[in-house]
Amino acid sequence: MVFEYFDPAARTVAVAGGFNQWNASARQLARDAGGRWTVSVKLAPGTYHYRFVVNGDRWVEDPLNSERAPNDYGTFNSIRVVTE
């Protein structure tokens, strides 16, 4: 599964979720010259909640994914479903 985020001004972007125990630095995305950040993560079938961590401290929803669910912090987690 590919996670993608766009922010030309970001210094770092990571993806954190149930698949990596919400570790804010475990899955760093790579930036291209235009400011597009991507990482490929192999996930078993299931439903996964996640957020992007920008510059190490700003947790944001996936702006490219409208599937979301409320979390315990009064915000939302993005959701991805892996079928195979």
Write the pLDDT tens digit of every residue in 3-54: 999 999 999 999 999 999 999 999 999 999 999 999 999 999 999 999 999 9
**pLDDT in the model for residue 59:** 97
Topology annotation, domain 2-82: Immunoglobulin-like (2.60.40)
d(CA 52, CA 56): 10
Predicted model pTM: 0.94
Every domain of the chain and the residues it spans: 2-82
DSSP 57: T
84 band by pLDDT with thresholds 50, 70 and 90: confident
55 band by pLDDT with thresholds 50, 70 and 90: very high
Give the contacts of 51 (CB within 8 A, at least 6 positions apart).
15, 16, 17, 59, 60, 61, 62, 77, 78
